[in-house]
Amino acid sequence: MKPALLVFLLLLAACARYSLVPPGSHEIDDAYTVQTSIAWSETSAGSAELWTVDGPSLEAVRFFAALEDGDALFEFHGRDNYPRFEGRMTASEVMEFVVDSLALAGAANMAATDLRPMKFGTLEGFRFELTFLDADGLEYDGLAAGAVADERLNLILYTGTRAYYFPKYKSQVERLIASVRM
């Protein structure tokens, strides 16, 4: 596969240290827990905890926990202006925040679809789907689920290549999301 995807993915892949996430229950930054039935490799990616099996440019689950006013989804080195979370965001605005962040990180032809209410643990949350191209024109799919509570954002973002990798782990990610406990 061609190198590429998003800048942050490349940087992360290049220098990140990984540790094993065995099957079982895992706490995400004291904000929520998830259950996994398979093993993942884990690293940190900016403000996110990133899990992957085959490599973050192929598929990656990013867990964001308790983002606050002014926090960004990714690191935009050298830029002063980039999308920032605000505690009063609605689900529509969180989707915009995610889409704009991905676009600024390098995704092309971003499209978000099917924004809908969905429980995130015990919280009233949301869910939406994503499609985009990377800088090499490779097609990606994604999904995001989360909730804003007490002006803090908890979010799970899954992205992967439309061919093979996104569908390969999608059901595992669905189970992760369904397993969220606050």
Partner 1 sequence: MTRRWGRALLPLILLAAASCVTPGGEPGALTDIAPGERPTLESDEAGLWMEVDRIENNLKTSGHIVRDPELNAYVRDIVCRLTTDYCEDLRIYIVQVPHFNAAMYPSGMMQVWTGLLLRAENEAQLAYVLGHEIGHYLRRHSIQQWRGVRGIADALVFVQIVAAAAGQGYLGYVAQLAALGSIFAFSREQEREADQIGFELMARAGYDAGEAGRIWEALIEEREAADDPERFIFFSTHPSSEERMETLDRLAGEYSGQAGLTKTNQDAFIDATRAFRTAWLRDEVRKRDHGGFQVVLDNLIEAGEGVGALHFFQGEMHRLRGDDGDESEAVAAYRRALEAGGAPAETHRSLGLLMWKAGELGEAGRAFEDYLAAAPEAEDRAMIDSYLRQIEGDQR
Binding site for partner 1 (CB under 8 A): 2-4, 6-7, 10, 79-83, 86, 88, 90-93, 95, 100, 103-109, 112-117, 126, 128, 132-138
Pick between residue 33 and residue 75 the one whose CB is nearest to partner 1: 75
Pick between residue 12 and residue 53 the one whose CB is nearest to partner 1: 12
CB of 161 to partner 1, least distance (A): 13
Dihedral sign for Cα 155, 107, 74, 27, please: positive
Pick between residue 65 and residue 107 the one whose CB is nearest to partner 1: 107
- Name the residue among 37, 63, 32 with its Cα closest to residue 50: 63
What is the three-class DSSP state of 93? helix
CB of 15 to partner 1, least distance (A): 15
- Name the residue among 59, 58, 56 with its Cα closest to residue 13: 56
Q: How far apart are the C-alpha atoms of 120 and 146, rounded to whole Å?
A: 6
Q: How far apart are the C-alpha atoms of 125 and 154, rounded to whole Å?
A: 9
Q: How far apart are the C-alpha atoms of 144 and 127, rounded to whole Å?
A: 6
CB of 88 to partner 1, least distance (A): 6
Pick between residue 51 and residue 126 the one whose CB is nearest to partner 1: 126
Residue pair 112/98 in contact (Cβ under 8 Å)? The answer is: yes
CB of 148 to partner 1, least distance (A): 13
Name the token pair of 98: 């995610």
CB of 139 to partner 1, least distance (A): 9
Pick between residue 44 and residue 92 the one whose CB is nearest to partner 1: 92
Dihedral sign for Cα 116, 46, 103, 7, please: negative
